[in-house]
Structure 1
Amino acid sequence: MKVVIAGGTGFIGKALSRLLVDSGYQVISLTRSTRPSDIPGVKNAVWDAENLSGWGDHVNGAKAVVNLAGDNIASGRWNEDKKKSILESRVKSGKALEHAVIKASHRPEVFIQGSAVGFYGLQGPEPVNESSSPGGNFLAGVTVKWEKSSEKVEDYGVRRAIVRTGMVLGKGGALAKMLPAFRMGLGGPLGHGHQGVSWIHLDDEIGAIKFLIENEQCKGVYNLTAPAPVTFNKFSKALGSVLGRPAVMRVPAFVLKMLMGQMAQEVLLGGQFALPERLLSAEYHFEHVDIEAALRDVVTS
């Protein structure tokens, strides 16, 4: 069985590729690089998300297509060019994959569409679930368009699941950027620290995607977040405890806004308490539900 992954060379994509290969799947990773994959059982195919040349045929006969492609939202200050790249990299990849699926003579059984809990905007203390409305900020608007980018595959009988992912805890991603400061005892909450952190361990992120691929009744929106979101204050305290370091060096909001502008407001100082209600209803069993235990597993493994 074949799975095609756009974004397969990223933090989540690589881990998902390994899991799928270990489970007996053949994985095609769509990438802009011409280098072969360093993961046994994974074949890289060059794509540009502009046309189907060189990669479109791989979609034919695949069990699943997984779209995780998109520019890193946290890599520096947002200017108009960066914001355009954040949006277009997601929408173009979705439309290209949608086109490949529609053209295929043997269409995939399922299309997994990436998204993020940023869909819900900058929320207060009240939890949100998959039926909650989108926010009105930039990232919420991006996720709405990202999710819509591949929606036409449903008109051709392809089951589609949208995965709204939170902060993924693993050896990479956001946590890797935080660890140096926390290890030196210089870590701590950002701003007031009451913003929600909807987190998920990498094991559960990729486990849930595999679960959605393999369970034919699963379609629609799923929050890929652990059942117990926390405040940034609690997250910082847990990470400090795991590392045996103080975590009291609070970074004032005005400093972050001055250095990073809108990105700081939406990514670092904003947050959500997103609950995975539909994933739980589908009887996915989380491996990691406690924030300190999850952090300890990542940091010490």
Structure 2
Amino acid sequence: MNVVVIGATGLVGSALVQQLNRQYNITAVGRDERLVRQKFPFCKSLALQDLALKHLAECDVVINLAGENISKGRWNESRRAEIIDSRVSTTQQVVELCRKLDQDAPRVFNASAIGIYGLQETSSSLSDAFVEESELPNPPTDFLSEVAIGWENTLRFLDPEKVVKLRFAVVLARHGGALPKLAMPFYFGCGGPIASGQQAISWVALKDVVSAITFLLDRPLLWGAFNIVAPECLHQRQFARVLARVLKRPSFMWTPGFFLKLLYGQMAEELILQGQHVEPKRLLDVGFEFQYGDLDTALRDIYRD
């Protein structure tokens, strides 16, 4: 199988290329071809701006993971536009090439996010879970749902039975993504609950992300949206306790929500102070088994060495 991976140097892309290269012919695509070539000398490399019709005509699947880091900085107007454009423009590029290929177009695996379902109010008990069949907010209720809905709408011109939408939760890995930022206060002995601590956190281990994508690659009859999220959802307070236990650090320092709002504005409100309870219903229905289905197991594996 010939697979094109766009966004190959990102957290998920890097792990995926390493895994898929063992059994498939991989073309790794990124914004900087030199960086891609240095990172993956064992496979073909390509700059995103050079991605052309011939590359997709030669492949069986294109996996588009491109997108600017949403937690990189405060969400001012220009930053919000950059976040949206980095996702929609690359997806449009893929869609336009696939439409030219018509029936010969490859399957398209496109990144998305569980943010598409909208945010849930904090509560002492977890809210009803969002699943793939849950109704999407129309119009979007927040910036994260606006981003993801716009992202997925770009795919509407393709044959739906050739499209897999990967709705990612917070991806946990030791180096990269959200976990190092979440863990840092604990190393300094000041970790603990944030605001009420009742925000729902839906998460997934990076290894399970790679396994889930590989699982779907090997099953060409599967299409549509899949929540790439662990079966276990926790309140932020519970998440902090498990993280502290695995790191062998205390978890007692409370961080007030208003302080984070002052620092990060809308980004804090949507990424930190509210949450979502999301379940991987379709993955479980088709027989996928999570290796890291609970947070304690996932974190102990991540911090094993």
TM-score, length basis structure 2? 0.92
Q: Helix, strand or coil for the counterpart of 2:180?
A: helix
1:17 matched to 2:14? The reply is no
Q: Helix, strand or coil for the counterpart of 1:27?
A: strand
Rounded to whole Å, the distance in 2 between the matches of 1:255 and 1:150 is 39
- 2:133 is matched with which residue? 131
- 1:44 is matched with which residue? 45
Residues 61 and 106, structure 1, Cα contact 8 Å, conserved in 2:
no
**RMSD of Structure 2 on Structure 1 (CA):** 1.6
Amino acid across the alignment from 2:250:
P
- Choose the corresponding residue for 1:110, options 107, 114, 135: 107
Q: Helix, strand or coil for the counterpart of 2:204?
A: strand
Once the two structures are TM-superposed, the CA of residue 4 in structure 1 deviates from its matched residue by 0.8
- 2:172 is matched with which residue? 169
Amino acid across the alignment from 1:228:
E
Once the two structures are TM-superposed, the CA of residue 42 in structure 1 deviates from its matched residue by 2.6
Q: Which runs of 4+ in 1 moved over 6 A?
A: none
1:271 matched to 2:275? The reply is yes
Amino acid across the alignment from 1:153:
L
Which of 140-149 and 32-41 deviates more? Answer: 32-41
Amino acid across the alignment from 1:43:
K
Rounded to whole Å, the distance in 2 between the matches of 1:42 and 1:55 is 18
Residues 65 and 108, structure 1, Cα contact 8 Å, conserved in 2:
no
1:10-89 to structure 2, matched below 5 A, reads 10-22=10-22, 24-35=23-34, 36-48=37-49, 53-89=50-86
1:284 matched to 2:288? The reply is yes
Unaligned segments of structure 1, at least 5 residues = none
Rounded to whole Å, the distance in 1 between the matches of 2:159 and 2:272 is 35
Amino acid across the alignment from 2:11:
F
Residues 28 and 44, structure 1, Cα contact 8 Å, conserved in 2:
yes
> What is the percent sequence identity of the aligned residues?
35
Residues 57 and 104, structure 1, Cα contact 8 Å, conserved in 2:
no
Rounded to whole Å, the distance in 1 between the matches of 2:157 and 2:9 is 26
Rounded to whole Å, the distance in 2 between the matches of 1:40 and 1:213 is 23
Rounded to whole Å, the distance in 2 between the matches of 1:107 and 1:170 is 36
Rounded to whole Å, the distance in 2 between the matches of 1:263 and 1:230 is 21
1:146-295 to structure 2, matched below 5 A, reads 146-154=151-159, 159-171=162-174, 172-295=176-299
Q: Helix, strand or coil for the counterpart of 1:149?
A: helix
1:87-102 to structure 2, matched below 5 A, reads 87-102=84-99
- 1:6 is matched with which residue? 6
Measured at CA, do residues 105 and 141 of structure 1 come closer, stay the same or move farther in structure 2, by a change above 3 Å?
closer
Rounded to whole Å, the distance in 1 between the matches of 2:135 and 2:116 is 8
Q: Helix, strand or coil for the counterpart of 1:251?
A: coil
Deviations 1:46-73 (A, max 9, x none): 124xxxx454421112111111111110
Which of 32-41 and 286-295 deviates more? Answer: 32-41
Deviations 1:136-171 (A, max 9, x none): 11110110010111232217xx61111110011112
Rounded to whole Å, the distance in 2 between the matches of 1:291 and 1:129 is 20
TM-score, length basis structure 1? 0.93
Number of aligned positions between the proteins? 294
Once the two structures are TM-superposed, the CA of residue 235 in structure 1 deviates from its matched residue by 0.7
Once the two structures are TM-superposed, the CA of residue 103 in structure 1 deviates from its matched residue by 2.3
Once the two structures are TM-superposed, the CA of residue 105 in structure 1 deviates from its matched residue by 7.5
Deviations 1:93-132 (A, max 9, x none): 1110111222237834421111001111111422111111
Once the two structures are TM-superposed, the CA of residue 249 in structure 1 deviates from its matched residue by 1.5
